[in-house]
Amino acid sequence: MKFELQHTDSLSNARAGLITTAHGQIETPVFMPVGTVGSVKAVHMSELKNDIEAQIILGNTYHLYLRPGLDILQQAGGLHKFNSWDKPILTDSGGFQVFSLADNRKLTEEGAEFRSHIDGSKHFFSPEKAVDIQRVIGADIMMAFDECTPGDADYAYAKKSLELTERWLDRCLARFAQTECAYGYQQTLFPIVQGCVYPDLRRRAAENVAAKNAGGNAIGGLAVGEPTEKMYEMVELVNEILPKDKPRYLMGVGKPENLLEAIERGVDMFDCIMPTRNGRNGQIFTKNGVLNMRNERWKNDFSPIEEDGASFVDTLYSKAYLRHLINTNEILGLQIASVHNLAFYIWLMQEARKHIIDGDFAAWKPVVLEKVTRRL
C-alpha cells in the first residue's frame, strides 16, 4: 500500500491524499461503508460502486470468522470474490467485538476467550489468530488486535489495557511479517492507538505506534461513551505525533459533524454504521439538515427526498413515499434510506476533499456544518 499526501489546508490540519492498494485507489478524506458480515445492509454491490460511489468497504473479522467461516472464505478465494466487491476492503481485528461482549469474554495475556453471540459456543482470539483470520479474509487493510477501552474507564484500567494492547501489537506485527496473503497480493496492517481519554496514555500510545513505521495508523477507543470534546482533544493530540506521510483512520466515527471536526484535525479515513442503521430507523441526512421520516409533517410532502441529492434515489422518490415505506416496515424503505444516507456521507467527504484542494476548507466547513446539522 502507498499513500501520497496531495494537499494540506493552510489554516488547519485537513488533508487530501491518495491511497493505492492491490484493489484500487482511494481518495481521502474517505468514508467507508460498514459491511459487517460481507454485505452493507440493504445495499447491492452495484449500488455501492456505481450510485453511492464507495471506494472501500469494511468487513468484520469476528462476524466473518463465525459466519460463513474461514473454510468457505478460503474456498471462495477471499472476501472480494465471495461478495463480488472488486475494490479495496478493510477489516477490523475483532477487538471492538471483544469489547462489546464484556459479559461473555475473558482477557488474558495470551488473548481473548469469548462466547459466540449466535449460539454461545466458546472461541479464542490471540493477536496471531486475528492476523491469520484477516489473511484468509484477504482484506487490503488489516487491523492489529487490541483491547478497546471503555470511554469511562479509570486511569489504572486504561493504563493496564494499553500495556496489553502494546504487547499484542508486537505479536501482531511479528505474525504479519511471518505470513503472506493467501491470494497473492499485498496486504497492510494498521496499528491502533488506544489510551482512553488520558493525554499521557494517548501520547505514549501514539509514539509507540509511530515508531512501528506501519503503512498507516488507526485511532481507536473513541466514540465509546466519552464526551465529544474529549474525543476531539484526543484526536488532535494523537495526530500531532502520528507521521504525516501515513494515512490516519479514526475508527467507528460517526455523525457528519464528527467527521468534519476530525478532518480539520488531520484524519483521513472513517467508518460508522450510523448512515445505514439510522436510515433503517427513519433518520435521513441531507445537505440542508436531518429529517425524521416517521414525522407526520412528511405525510403529504411529495417533493423529492433531496432536490439536489447525492444519489439516484433522491429525485426518484418523494418524502411522502419514503415515509409510507418506513412506517409500514417495507423493505424498500430501508434500502432507499440506506442508499441515500451512504451517498450523503460520501458526498460530504468528496466536498471536504474538494475544498481542501481549492484552499478554502476553513471557510467552507462552518457553513456546511450549520446546514447539515439542522433538524428539519
* N-terminal to C-terminal alpha carbon distance within the chain: 42
Instruction: Name the residue type at position 313.
Output: V
Q: How far apart are CA 191 and CA 330, in angstroms?
A: 41
Structural contact between residues 79 and 141, judged by C-beta atoms closer than 8 angstroms: no
Instruction: Catalytic residue, from 9, 146, 268, 271: name it.
Output: 271
Active site residue 268: no
- Would you put residue 172 in left (φ > 0), alpha (ψ -120 to 50) or beta? alpha
- Bond from prior residue into 68 cis (ω within 30 degrees of 0): yes
Residue whose C-alpha cell reads 474456498 in the numeric block: 75
Q: Record the cell numbers describing residue 209, joined without a space.
A: 505506534
Q: How far apart are CA 279 and CA 246, in angstroms?
A: 33
Largest CA distance in the chain: 62
Q: What is residue 223's three-state secondary structure?
A: coil
Instruction: Kindly list the distances between the CA atom of residue 308 and the CA atoms of 251, 287, 359, in Å, as whole numbers in the listed order.
Output: 30, 8, 24
Instruction: Catalytic residue, from 92, 146, 268, 314: name it.
Output: 92
Segment (H or E) for 4: strand 2-8
Q: How far apart are CA 293 and CA 235, in angstroms?
A: 33
Closest alpha carbon to 310 in 46, 18, 50: 50
User: If you ran DSSP here, which 8-state letter would residue 107 be given?
Assistant: E
Q: How far apart are CA 32 and CA 3, in angstroms?
A: 17
Active site residue 92: yes
From the number of C-beta atoms within 10 Å of its C-beta (0-12, 13-18, 19+), residue 120 rates as exposed
Active site residues: 92, 271
